[in-house]
Amino acid sequence: KPLDFEAAESHELSVRATDGGGLSAICKVLVEVLDVNDNAPELAVSSFSSPLAENAVPGTVVALFTVRDRDSGANGEISCALDHELVFSLRPAYKNYYELVTVSALDREHTAQYVLRVTAADAGSPPLSSTHTFTVAVSDVNDNAPVFNQTSYTMYVRENNVPAVLVGAVSAADADAGLNAKVTYSLAPVAAAERPPCSCVSVNSESGHVFVLRPLDYERLRQTEVTVSASDAGSPPLRANVTVRLVVLDENDNAPLVLYPAQDGSPAASELVPVAAEAGYLVTKVVAVDADSGQNSWLSYHLLRATEPGLFTVALQSGEVRLKRPPTERDSVKHKLLVLVTDNGKPPLSATAALSALLLQDFSDVRLPHGSPPPDHQGDSLTTYLIISLVFVSLLFLVSTAVFVARQACKRKELEPAHVLYGADNLQSGLADAAAAGTLPRAYCYEISLTTGSGDSEFKFLKPVLPSLPPQPCAAGHDPHEQEQDFPRVPVSAEDVAPDYAGTLSARQFNAL
């Protein structure tokens, strides 16, 4: 049979030689078997760890194995090699023992499993080798937070929406495995200092669907932002946040609001238009606003009704009311117009503005209108106010006149006793007749000036012709003592009668003329 060096390196034989005469001799034959490289190296695994946690530190032992070769000499010298030397390496432990260790950090999300081939080769000629495969599975560690598929989300909802309407969804993925990759969604709490919390948005914890819980009003809330949080089920859990901006779309749910002229039910003031105005004269402007936005707030103005439709025109975009033609004598003085204000929504909403205009010769013209339309409630109110005002002014004038006349009469009564100083008999003969007639010559004419609100009389001496009159005795029938008691004998001169006042000439000054 074939010799096997590995079974027996040498053989010892005893050889007996016998001749024909019956004699024999014995000798020993030693056969040495020469080794040839007919055995490949053998690899025996002592320990192996799999799966291996991805957070294993470098230098972690994965496997421990031994190698041997039954050949001898160079045929039994073994060398081992590893094909993944970037992540793992072989490290000699003791004699023919080797360790398979990690040399860098593992990442399960990058490589979940490593297939390592260890090759053991001898130094024979030709060399023989053997290969052993290690399959190293990397176990997951919760080292990855969820990641949203967008950096931010913008969702739209129309105002006046139905409650709990679906407006969109958020989505996040976790690169980990198992429970570490299970993502749940929630609304992240927001500090009140940053922005007020929004209670109108909700998110489904499993699917990430975003709902609007109650109807929204564009005019009160045009957009809002919420923060959605995605967290995994790892220990400890990791989370990520994303901003969801909810934009409310406008609907045409607001009719135009007329600001001028005011439509609050009170009588509106009439616009005054001179009859000499030319075509294109600006009478007034209807001002209206719409709380909606976009094309829903685009307003157009139309003349719906007018006393004289051909006299006025309304600008479609600006609402300016202008004369379409010059006024004529046949036109009524008072005109009423009804302007229709319409927005551009679908369906359009509208409002009306009522206004009036008066055609006047000038702004002080108060002539009554002719051929005017039947008066309405507002016209009656205006006429009533005018009548009350005129009556009040007339009464005030009459009272003022009566007071003035009464005060004048009182002043005259206060001045009448002064005429008894000189009776008709005491006057010089040239003045007696004039005194009897109730008049005096020009030499004794004085101007009495009374000022309203003043109790003093101001006498202006006009022309002193006669000298100072000497005192005369009273007429017969009067007691001289009584006269002296009532009127002392004090010389009366022109200077005494006409004292000096600022702005008037004294008697001496006038005599010097």
DSSP assignment of 114-158, as one string? EEEEEEEEE--SS--EEEEEEEEEEEP-S----EESSSEEEEEEE
Q: Which residue has the higher pLDDT, 489 or 110?
A: 110
> What one-letter code names the amino acid at 289?
V
* φ and ψ of 125, to 5 deg: -130, 110
Q: Which residue has the higher pLDDT, 366 or 243?
A: 243
Convert the pLDDT of each residue in 98-127 to its tens digit: 999 999 989 898 888 999 999 998 888 888
Residues 53 and 141: their CA atoms lie apart, in Å, by: 7
pLDDT (0 to 100) of residue 155: 96
pLDDT (0 to 100) of residue 150: 94
Of the candidate ranges 217-221, 227-231, 269-273, 469-473, the one whose mean pLDDT is the lowest: 469-473
Q: Which residue is it, tokens 């940053």?
A: 194
> What one-letter code names the amino acid at 41?
P
Q: Which of 60, 76, 240, 211 is nearest to 136 (CA)?
A: 60
pLDDT (0 to 100) of residue 280: 92
Q: Determine if the pTM surpasses 0.85.
A: no
Residues 180 and 412: their CA atoms lie apart, in Å, by: 118
What lies within 8 Å, CB to CB, of 159 at 6+ separation is 215, 216, 217, 218, 248, 249, 250, 251, 253
Burial 228-254 (b: 16+ CB within 10 A, else e): bbbbbbbeeebbbebebebebebbbeb
Give the three-state DSSP class for 228.
Answer: strand
Hey, what are 416's tokens?
A: 């009448």
Convert the pLDDT of each residue in 413-459 to its tens digit: 766 554 444 444 444 444 444 444 444 444 444 444 444 444 444 44
Element (H, E) at 457: none
pLDDT (0 to 100) of residue 499: 45
Residues 358 and 274: their CA atoms lie apart, in Å, by: 8
Residues 168 and 244: their CA atoms lie apart, in Å, by: 10
Q: What's the chain's average pLDDT? A: 78
pLDDT (0 to 100) of residue 18: 87
245 has which bridge partners?
154, 225
Q: Is the pLDDT of residue 151 over 90?
A: yes
Give the three-state DSSP class for 240.
Answer: strand
CA-to-CA dists, residue 23 to 19, 20, 335, angstroms: 5, 7, 170
Convert the pLDDT of each residue in 304-352 to its tens digit: 999 888 899 999 999 999 999 999 888 888 999 999 999 999 899 999 9
Convert the pLDDT of each residue in 384-410 to its tens digit: 878 888 888 888 889 889 888 888 888
**Domains identified in the chain and CATH numbers:** 1-34 (no CATH), 42-138 (2.60.40.60), 147-249 (2.60.40.60), 257-374 (2.60.40.60), 422-511 (no CATH)
pLDDT (0 to 100) of residue 488: 41
pLDDT (0 to 100) of residue 304: 92
Q: Is the pLDDT of residue 481 over 70?
A: no
DSSP state of 89: E
> What one-letter code names the amino acid at 239?
R
Convert the pLDDT of each residue in 78-87 to its tens digit: 888 888 778 8
Query: Contact 210/194 with Cβ under 8 angstroms?
Result: no
Of the chain, the percentage scoring pLDDT greater than 70 comes to: 74
pLDDT (0 to 100) of residue 362: 66
Q: Which of 188, 208, 207 is nearest to 198 (CA)?
A: 188
Q: Which residue has the higher pLDDT, 157 or 429?
A: 157
Q: Which residue has the higher pLDDT, 57 or 457?
A: 57
pLDDT (0 to 100) of residue 21: 80
